[in-house]
Amino acid sequence: MSNKSAKLEVADKNFDFPVLEGTLGPDVIDIRKLYGQTGRFTYDPGFTSTAACESALTYIDGEEGVLLHRGYPIGQLAEKSSFMEVSYLLLNGELPSKTELDDFTYTISRHTMLHEQLATFYRGFRRDAHPMAVMCGVVGALSAFYHDSTDITDPEQRKIASHRLIAKMPTIAAMAYKYTVGQPFMYPDNNLSYTGNFLKMTFGVPAEQYEVHPAIEKAMDRIFILHADHEQNASTSTVRLAGSSGANPFACIAAGIACLWGPAHGGANEAALNMLREIGTPDQIPHYIERAKDKNDPFRLMGFGHRVYKNYDPRATVMQETVREVFDALKVNDPVFEVALQLEEMALNDPYFIEKKLFPNVDFYSGVILSAIGFPTTMFTVLFALARTVGWVAQWNEMISDPEQKIGRPRQLYTGPTERNYVPMADRK
Ligand code: CMC
């Protein structure tokens, strides 16, 4: 708490509100007593000026293009760390010792299998179901299978539920994919890394040996790191809001998955790749840039712009390097990469995009990489959900442990009819 305060004049009366200081980022005006003292609410659709919680997990400076997890820059983590280590860091606050990391990795690998009856649950979905629809359903259903870890007041149960969610998500995601292509489900192989195991469950078949390609395993692990957490974005806020009522962790993560699915959030990489394929060749780029700038055309450059980053998204830089690595490793020669590079260059030199501070975001290149690895576009958001689960779980744990935690209950500016009497059917015009 600082000594600073903010003054507000309402109906000729002056009020002082405390100003809180974090370790980084703007100060925040503590308006918890605003309604009690002034009888007024604040109006902030989209929460663009509202800090809804205190958090020590992730810091973003959108103007400078900075993203830190527990203080460590995303570029360093993507280059030097692993998804398991970043998961430990997010959950526990510090980088692990070798023993701590080995123990954590071992624990996660021991929770990878799904209750066998869940396979039956999958078979209830239509074969052409979108894998995100399957993910929402199956993750929500976990609470029906793992009753022994749904008491959120017990820290041990919270820990087990967190480990289960992180461990089972690759199995659930791979099964969602296998179901849509009509191949048998693959059981986890705990001799493999977290990411290698996921690749095998997705692309392997029981009839053949599956060799994990080291370059793809590394690229995929890095993609998971880049998506692990991102402060109070829409899906994370959804998880927190759902969790604030005391809902069980599996239900909260299912809510997060539902929110992530939207094209303005996790669905953007699918939309970005579709857009690049529609553009097709570099000579078509100017036409699409003009469309994106036209106020009467709903078309937007997918993978461009961000609510928080008003400078380059630091995750996009790593993603662009990863595309090259994957293309070299797999000897892919996809014209879509050339279209992406040229589109980026043209947009970054266009006054419209410069003025509005629109830069490529993480989704601009991720679709290109995932497609080269062999994932259909419908799986892109599933992979995002898999990786983001660690962030959701860490944020959910932080919220439950916060003594100031309250049920989330936003207010509104009511613009509907004022009170009126019920009109019987016969008297209605
Ligand atoms: N193409 C063309 N114009 C754009 C774009 C775009 N991609 N993004 C924003 N603008 C314009 C927008 O029309 C508006 O113009 P004006 O001020 O003249 O009305 C201005 O820039 C500000 O846009 P906004 O929609 O008010 O900004 P926002 O912060 O509310 O939206 C966004 C952020 C990500 C929803 C938006 O930039 C967008 O729709 N981008 C495309 C979808 C996308 O790539 N989403 C992935 C986000 S990153 C992944 C994640 O973290 O989930």
Per-residue pLDDT reduced to its tens digit, 98-139: 999 999 999 999 999 999 999 999 999 999 999 999 999 999
pLDDT category at 44 given cuts 50, 70, 90 is very high
Tell me, using a 6 A CB cutoff, whether residue 302 lines ligand 1. yes
Could you list the active site residues?
A: 306, 363
Residue 1: the pLDDT is 58
What pLDDT band is residue 337 in, cutting at 50, 70 and 90? confident
Contact 345, 398 (CB under 8 A): no
Contacts 24+ apart (CB under 8 A), 115-118: 115/145, 115/146, 117/145, 118/145
* CB-ligand 1 contact for 139 (6 Å cutoff): no
Q: Does residue 180 have a pLDDT over 80? A: yes
How much is the pLDDT for 150?
85
State the distance from the centre of ligand 1 to the C-alpha of 359, rounded, in angstroms.
10
C-beta separation of 350 from 111 below 8 A: no
The rounded percent of the chain whose pLDDT value lies above 90 is 84
Report the C-alpha gap between 222 and 233 in whole angstroms.
20
Q: How far is CA 132 from CA 113, 234, 300, 323, 387, in A?
A: 20, 17, 23, 24, 14
The pTM (predicted TM-score) of the whole model is 0.91
Nearest CA to ligand 1 atom 34: 306
In single-letter form, the type of residue at position 250 comes to F
- Given a cut of 80, whether residue 160 has pLDDT beyond it is yes
User: Does the structure show a pLDDT above 80 at 2?
Assistant: no
* CA dist 337 → 36, 303, 316, 321, 359 (Å): 56, 14, 14, 12, 17
Nearest to 216 by CA among 386, 388, 390, 375: 375
Residue 29 belongs to what H/E stretch? strand 28-29
pLDDT (tens digit per residue) in 380-429: 999 999 999 999 999 999 999 999 899 999 999 999 999 999 999 999 98
Residue 183: predicted pLDDT: 96
Q: What is the per-residue pLDDT for 48?
A: 93
- Any ligand 1 atom below 6 A from CB of 301: yes
Percent of the chain surpassing pLDDT 70? 100
pLDDT at 219: 94
- Residue 307 Cα to ligand 1 midpoint, Å, equals 7
**Ligand 1 atom closest to the CA of 266, numbered from 1:** 52
- pLDDT per residue over 274-329, tens digit each? 999 999 999 999 999 999 999 999 999 999 998 888 888 899 989 988 988 898 88
